[in-house]
Structure 1
Amino acid sequence: MKKYGRTFHLPTSPGATSDDKIMASLVGLMVDDLVVTEKMDGENTTIHSTGSHARSPDSRYHPSRDWLKAFAAGISPNLEDGERIIGENLYARHSVAYDALPSYFLGFGWIVDDEVQSWDRTMTRFQELGISAVPTLYRGPYRDDLFEGIARNLDLTKHEGYVVRTAGAFDENAMPECMGKYVRAGHVQADIHWMKAEVVPNKLAE
């Protein structure tokens, strides 16, 4: 089991706090093929060949993870030892309420032997495994006004932000250069942390 790395904030991300890491440069994202996806307000989760875990492999029990563990039990037998599926456990409502999710688990990464696989290969693998992906907001080349334009088009009452990555494969150690996130200002709007509050499930699409 391996902990999934941190996604650094874009320099323009208003939701970055003093505890967050910020990308030192955008050079790694100045490529001809970028993928921008919606940043979902859930719990980062890894599914591997022997089960699943939240961001920390030694996470304690929480009732919001029951559905995910049952879901992962159907995925894990189909994974090789070096494969990890990364996504968001969206069962419990956090700061953003969802009312039409395709699944309580939405994937955004496929790692094989410490290499983050290309977006196209990841989508193919998700189809094979029956995994729904996070929504894609943009696919195309980098341009100077791209990130600001995507941020302006977000509905900040419904969207936490977005994540940008190079569409090609890259080493997991290169995540700070090849991925970045934009998070809305004041994202956490509840007085009580979701893990200490009553579990309120998000809603699935009819």
Structure 2
Amino acid sequence: MKKYPRTFHLPISPGASSDDKIMTTLDGLICDDLVITEKMDGENTTLHRGGSHARSPDSRGHPSRDWLKAFAAGITPHLAEGERIVGENLFARHSVGYEALPAWFLGFAWIIGDEVQPWDQTLLRFDELGITPVPVLWRGSYRPGLFETIAAGLDTNRQEGFVARVTDAFPEAEMPMRMGKYVRAGHVQSETHWMHAPLVPNGLKGA
């Protein structure tokens, strides 16, 4: 199992807790082509040639993970050794409830070996595999105040936050510099972890 690296918080992220990592500089995000996607409130999950696993070391059974395993069974035979698809398993409702998702698994990264692949090629690979990507909120050149503007436009009642990354490929080891997240204040609004609460499936569009 190769765990997806932790995404550091942007310096303006109000949802960073005491044990979270925060970016010390934005230098790695200052570029001509940056993409900002919605941060979905699900379980970080990796699909690979041998199966699938959640980022959490907690591997206990859960209906949302049962669904994910069934979904992954149709994807993983088409993956090469060393190829990983990373996304959010959104079957179970966590802190944010979704009523009209395009799919219960939304992808946000394609990794080969130790390299995060370019964003445009990632979208093409997702299309080949029948994977729906996370929503794109903005794309363009970095400018001062950009992240504050995107944050101000969030509906924090239904959006957890956003993730910014360079669209070019980069080594997985450079994720702390090339990718950063913004999480709303007070994101976790229940003392009961979602795995211990009654299962409430998120809604699908058209269902």
TM-score normalised by structure 1 residue count = 0.98
- 1:54 corresponds to which residue? 54
Query: What is the one-letter code of the residue matched to 1:61?
Result: G
SS in structure 1 of the partner of residue 84 of structure 2 = strand
Identity %: 69
Aligned-residue offset at 1:57: 5.9
Deviation readout 1:25-67 (Å, 9 max, x if unpaired): 1000000000000000000000001110000466222221111
Whether the 8 Å contact between 1:2 and 1:57 is mirrored in structure 2 is no
- 2:95 corresponds to which residue? 95
CA distance in 1, matches of 2:120, 2:153: 25
- 1:141 corresponds to which residue? 141
CA distance in 2, matches of 1:132, 1:154: 21
- 1:127 corresponds to which residue? 127
- 1:184 corresponds to which residue? 184
Deviation readout 1:145-166 (Å, 9 max, x if unpaired): 1000000000000100000000
SS in structure 2 of the partner of residue 195 of structure 1 = coil
Question: Which 4+ stretches in 1 moved above 3 angstroms?
Answer: none
CA distance in 2, matches of 1:114, 1:130: 23
Deviation readout 1:1-21 (Å, 9 max, x if unpaired): 200000000000000010100
Q: List aligned pairs for 1:106-117, cutoff 5 A.
A: 106-117=106-117
Query: What is the one-letter code of the residue matched to 1:39?
Result: K
**2:145 is equivalent to residue 165 of structure 1:** no
- Higher deviation after alignment, 52-61 or 4-13: 52-61
TM-score normalised by structure 2 residue count = 0.98
CA RMSD of superposed structures (Å): 0.9
Deviation readout 1:99-144 (Å, 9 max, x if unpaired): 1111100000000011000000000000000000000001100000
Give unpaired runs (5+ residues) of structure 1: none
SS in structure 2 of the partner of residue 199 of structure 1 = coil
CA distance in 1, matches of 2:58, 2:50: 14
Give unpaired runs (5+ residues) of structure 2: none
**2:86 is equivalent to residue 86 of structure 1:** yes
